[in-house]
Amino acid sequence: MRNLMLALGAASLAVPATVMLPQTSSEAQAQSKKKRYSYREWKGRDGRRYCRKPDGTTGLVIGGVAGALVGRSIDTRGDRTVGTLLGAAAGAVAGREIERSGKRCR
């Protein structure tokens, strides 16, 4: 039993070392091609600079949830559905516009 535990311990120490092997040049080039399009700004083939702006999805979701909670807390009469829906809609629109307006490329 002791030998089995020692063998498993030695194998667990050797496995992470084999995962971190150095990359070949072709693997490094493939990774650099993938990363080329992840930047916010890039230069096109025509020489112009292009910019990738956020589409506002994160702000839409967070604003919708926050707006629904605020709308529900403000509307205290009845079943609160109207306040929740109006708050979610207003929060979603506001969150989307806030996220889209803050990021701009120059």
pLDDT of residue 62: 93
Is this model's pTM higher than 0.85 or not? no
Quick one: how far is CA 96 from the chain centroid? Answer: 15
Read off the pLDDT of each residue in 25-33 and give the average, rounded to a whole number: 57
- Does residue 28 carry a pLDDT above 80? no
Scan for tokens 């971190």, then name that residue: 20
Evaluate whether 90 touches 67 at the Cβ level (below 8 Å): yes
